[in-house]
Structure 1
């Protein structure tokens, strides 16, 4: 009985090897070229993003409108300013890439925030870290494609009420005044 079982196993194994060998698929043959062409626009790999040195753009009227950053060729718009879940305040910013190439994740420095009190004293405000504010997206984590937009959130260690006389700098744009609130 053992000999018959062994013979059956060998026969099945041999038949499988022969079928695989005769299947006609060769691993050495080049893959056939696709007959369909992609109609999606491609990004020229030789063109890269190059920021320009420009004077800062000051926005001190209607801080809720988009502001163009000529140095990065992007638009910045403060979407909302809210209380932070863990304290502080969170500024939500929409960025739109106006370049023909992707905007690198490290194209601009982290934003800064300064506030002035009633006596005119200016105080630089510390940004909250991911450790202090779990789950917060505080920067571009991937390149932003041509024409694409994304929302960014920046948490700062200051009260919501102190933003009535603030200076928020992101890229080459400075928003000055009472930051928009939702």
Structure 2
């Protein structure tokens, strides 16, 4: 019997302020918080899983349509400061991509909330035919409140592009 991956259950990230992370994921992206958890230092089972000694954290999991995000604020051990301008060419995860239905409105709402983007979305990459059908896509990279890179994409199907 072969064992296969069933799909992506969640992605996770560590943040310096879980309440600010809630603002990004719940308020700006519209995720639904489905659980919370926290643990104190001295839990050998969790320490073994996360590979840290005397770890302590608070966390939440939120559902974003077809995937979940797990967010941790570690209170122990203390993390070094995060580089809010970490270049995306460094090895490791570079960004998270979120498909949106209106990239311009999403971009404007996020800028109004104080987020920064590398560039505004270029809407010229989306074409509309005589019947009003759209094809193509627009995308841009932004930074969350901590400097983590995310992408917003508006995708309209054609022979080469398939939405989620």
Normalised by the length of structure 1, the TM-score is: 0.24
Higher helix share: 2
Normalised by the length of structure 2, the TM-score is: 0.26
- Which has the greater radius of gyration? 1
